[in-house]
């Protein structure tokens, strides 16, 4: 492999070697599977033969043993316990929060303004995540949470194997650890208050109420780990998806105009509700196409916990496995003209014709054994993106600010972070 990072190397490797590639660095073997059958074997059929990979295990101080990082029976139990929190009706009830937070940000924008769209989306989705998790406005504590999240993102910027393995005590890492301690204080404090006052109507209360078949419920530590997981899993990913949607729309004025027409037609100037989501068909296609081109989580890693056969290859115990949405979503066999932003490709027929896994990889953003989150993560994400993602009053049009790159340059990081462009400018909608 060349000195370039995996966002360049993985597609290049696929071009050169096809569906399955293998390399060894020192004593560590790594397999890259692009073949849908192999990906399905790793993530679905034989998922018990794998543990989670280096990506999700890179920040144990923050995630603890939450759904993203836990394994085996413990993971299954936590998933069972989290199920009610992600019920369809529960997620629908959060729509007002999602739309309200987006409105708060957008109301500040004036015609001709230039704004850092990724920053704005990070603020919006963080407010949504904290309000839906805790059911309260965090007030002064919000800036501590935002600081801690920012420290997390910065600590993970760049893919440094050195940092992941050796936990080098850099300034960034110290800032991250301080953020985790401050978050712990806030989260444990809210858990204590909530236990004392009785449950409310939010995700934390659902976790508190959840009981397993034997009558046991989550300890404070388990609650803390799940809350931290949701805070991050539900915040940065959706912010990234929204930022990329803004970028794609700002650089594709025709598609932007069609989106605005749909919003005017369906909403007629009012704010959207959860009931509007099915009618916003073009908006939904824009979201799908955005997630295809710029999947916020662009790679999934696993580790073989035993020797296992994948696609006829004997994968020894201890091997690393990599599968990548970034590569699969741009595979011309499944997505003709893969680099083109074309929301209209997402017809029902097109989806039906996709091989099982690329369709699932795309839709579920992986974890094909139940979707992201306890199947409700995806539901929450889609609603979040619909609710928070559009200037629902359709009063302005958006463009990259002068001097901004018009290519979707991506930073090498654990997530698909934008780089080289971030500033968008608005002007009154001309039509
Ligand atoms: C566009 C938005 C999102 C994307 C692209 C995304 C992507 C992913 C991916 C790829 C995984 C699998 C990671 C792995 O197994 O290695 C995952 C897991 C997870 N996500 Fe999301 N996610 C999104 C939104 C959300 C939201 C809104 C929530 C919660 C409110 C959430 C909660 C979770 C949880 C709890 C897991 C762990 C699931 C488990 O292993 O049981 N995600 N997500």
Q: How far is the CA of 329 from the centre of ligand 1 (A)?
A: 17
Handedness of CA 217, 222, 225, 228 (dihedral sign): positive
Rounded to an integer, the average pLDDT of 375-379 is 51
Tell me which residue has tokens 């839906």.
132
Cβ contacts of residue 419 below 8 Å, gap of 6+? 409, 410, 411
- Which residues share a beta bridge with 53? none
Rounded to an integer, the average pLDDT of 376-393 is 55
pLDDT at 366 over 50: no
Handedness of CA 420, 149, 130, 378 (dihedral sign): positive
More confident residue, 374 or 139: 139
Average pLDDT for the chain: 83
Please state which of the ranges 27-31, 141-145, 392-396 shows the lowest mean pLDDT. Answer: 392-396
Q: How far is the CA of 415 from the centre of ligand 1 (A)?
A: 12
Q: What is the pLDDT, as a whole number, of residue 99?
A: 87
pLDDT at 261 over 50: yes
Please state which of the ranges 91-95, 271-275, 289-293, 405-409 shows the lowest mean pLDDT. Answer: 405-409
The preferred substitution site among 121, 377, 388 for testing ligand 1, maximizing ligand atoms within 8 Å of CB, is 377
End-to-end CA distance of the chain: 50
pLDDT band per the 50, 70, 90 thresholds, residue 364: very low
Contact 255, 141 (CB under 8 A): no
Contact 56, 63 (CB under 8 A): yes
Handedness of CA 366, 48, 162, 153 (dihedral sign): positive
Q: What is the pLDDT, as a whole number, of residue 369?
A: 28
Rounded to an integer, the average pLDDT of 303-331 is 93
Please state which of the ranges 182-191, 298-307, 366-375 shows the lowest mean pLDDT. Answer: 366-375
Q: What is the pLDDT of residues 117-170, one digit of tens each?
A: 888 899 999 999 999 999 888 888 999 999 998 888 888 776 555 566 667 778
Strands 410-411 and 423-428: unpaired
Residues, the chain: 431
Q: What is the pLDDT, as a whole number, of residue 430?
A: 60
pLDDT at 204 over 70: yes
pLDDT band per the 50, 70, 90 thresholds, residue 225: very high
Rounded to an integer, the average pLDDT of 365-382 is 44
The preferred substitution site among 373, 378, 385, 388 for testing ligand 1, maximizing ligand atoms within 8 Å of CB, is 373
Q: What is the pLDDT of residues 87-113, one digit of tens each?
A: 888 888 888 888 888 888 888 888 788
Q: What is the pLDDT of residues 295-312, one digit of tens each?
A: 888 888 899 999 999 999
Q: How far is the CA of 334 from the centre of ligand 1 (A)?
A: 23
Q: What is the pLDDT, as a whole number, of residue 86?
A: 83
Q: What is the pLDDT of residues 231-246, one digit of tens each?
A: 988 888 889 999 999 8
* Structural domains of the chain in order of their starting residue, each with its CATH number: 6-428 (1.10.630.10)
Long-range Cβ contact pairs of 40-45 (< 8 A, separation 24 or more): 40/356, 40/357, 40/368, 41/310, 41/311, 42/302, 42/310, 42/321, 42/323, 43/300, 43/302, 43/323, 43/366, 43/367, 43/368, 43/369, 44/368, 44/369
Q: What percent of the chain has pLDDT over 90?
A: 35
pLDDT at 347 over 60: yes
pLDDT at 404 over 60: yes
> What secondary structure, in 3-state letters, does the chain show?
CCCCCHHHHHHHHHHHHCCEEEEEECCEEEEEECCHHHHHHHHHHCHHHEEECHHHHCCHHHHCCCCCCCCHHHHHHHHHHHHHHHCHHHHHHCHHHHHHHHHHHHHCCCCCCEEEHHHHHHHHHHHHHHHHHHCCCCCCHHHHHHHHHHHHHHHHECCCHHHHHHCCCCHHHHHHHHHHHHHHHHHHHHHHHHHHHCCCCCHHHHHHHCCCCCCCCCCHHHHHHHHHHHHHHCCHHHHHHHHHHHHHHHCCHHHHHHHHHHHHHHHCCCCCCHHHHHHCHHHHHHHHHHHHHCCCCCCEEEEECCCEEECCEEECCCCEEEECHHHHCCCCCCCCCCCCCCHHHCCHHHHHHCCHHHHHHHHHCCCCCCCCCCCHHHHHHHHHHHHHHCCCCCCEEEEECCCCCCCCCEECECCCEECCCCEEEEEECCC
At residue 25's C-alpha, the angle toward residues 22 and 27, to 5°, is: 100
The preferred substitution site among 233, 295, 320, 366 for testing ligand 1, maximizing ligand atoms within 8 Å of CB, is 233
What pTM does this model have? 0.89
More confident residue, 217 or 424: 217
* Ligand 1 site, CB within 6 A: 52, 56, 67-68, 79, 229-230, 233-234, 237-238, 241, 296-297, 300, 365-367, 372-373, 377, 380-381, 384
Q: What percent of the chain has pLDDT over 70?
A: 86
pLDDT band per the 50, 70, 90 thresholds, residue 289: very high
| Cβ neighbour number for residue 179 with a 10 Å cutoff | 23
More confident residue, 396 or 310: 310
Q: How far is the CA of 297 from the centre of ligand 1 (A)?
A: 9
Structure tokens at 376: 């409700």
Ligand 1 atom closest to Cα of residue 385: 1
Structure tokens at 379: 């539901």
Q: How far is the CA of 253 from the centre of ligand 1 (A)?
A: 31
Cβ contacts of residue 429 below 8 Å, gap of 6+? 260, 394, 395, 396, 397
């Amino acid at each position: 492999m060349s000195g370039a990072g995996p966002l360049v190397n993985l597609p290049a490797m696929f071009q050169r070697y096809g569906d399955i590639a293998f390399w060894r660095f020192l004593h560590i073997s790594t397999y890259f599977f692009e073949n849908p059958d192999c990906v399905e074997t790793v993530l679905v059929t034989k998922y018990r033969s794998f543990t989670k990979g280096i990506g999700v295990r890179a920040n144990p101080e923050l995630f603890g043993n939450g759904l993203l990082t836990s394994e085996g029976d413990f993971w299954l139990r936590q998933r069972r316990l989290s199920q009610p929190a992600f019920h369809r009706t529960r997620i629908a009830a959060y729509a007002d929060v999602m739309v309200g937070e987006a409105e708060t940000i957008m109301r500040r924008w004036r015609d001709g303004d230039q704004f850092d769209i990724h920053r704005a989306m990070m603020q919006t989705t963080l407010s949504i995540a904290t309000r839906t998790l805790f059911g309260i406005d965090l007030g002064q504590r919000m800036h501590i949470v935002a600081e801690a999240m920012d420290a997390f993102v910065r600590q993970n910027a760049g893919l440094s194997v050195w940092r992941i393995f050796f936990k080098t005590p850099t300034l960034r890492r110290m800032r991250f650890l301080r953020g985790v301690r401050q978050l712990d204080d806030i989260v444990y404090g809210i858990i204590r208050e909530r236990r004392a006052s009785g449950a409310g109507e939010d995700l934390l209360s659902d976790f508190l109420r959840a009981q397993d078949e034997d009558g046991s419920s989550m300890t404070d530590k388990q609650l803390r780990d799940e809350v931290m997981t949701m805070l991050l899993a539900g915040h940065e990913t959706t912010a990234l998806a929204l930022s990329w949607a803004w970028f794609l729309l700002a650089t594709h004025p025709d598609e932007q105009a069609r989106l605005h027409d749909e919003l005017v037609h369906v909403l007629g100037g009012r704010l959207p509700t959860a009931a509007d989501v099915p009618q916003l068909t073009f908006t939904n296609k824009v979201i799908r196409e955005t997630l295809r081109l710029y999947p916020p989580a662009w790679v999934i890693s696993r580790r073989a916990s035993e020797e296992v056969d994948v696609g006829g290859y004997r994968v020894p115990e201890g091997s690393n496995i990599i599968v990548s949405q970034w590569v699969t979503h741009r595979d011309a066999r499944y997505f003709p003209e893969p680099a083109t932003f074309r929301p209209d490709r997402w017809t029902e027929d097109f989806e039906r014709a996709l091989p099982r896994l690329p369709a699932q990889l795309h839709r579920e953003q992986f974890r094909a054994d139940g979707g992201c989150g306890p199947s409700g993560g995806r539901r929450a994400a889609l609603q979040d993106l619909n609710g928070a993602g559009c200037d629902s009053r359709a009063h302005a049009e958006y463009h990259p600010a002068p001097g901004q790159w018009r290519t979707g340059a991506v930073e090498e990081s654990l997530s698909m972070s934008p780089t080289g462009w971030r500033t968008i400018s608005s002007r009154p909608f001309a039509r």
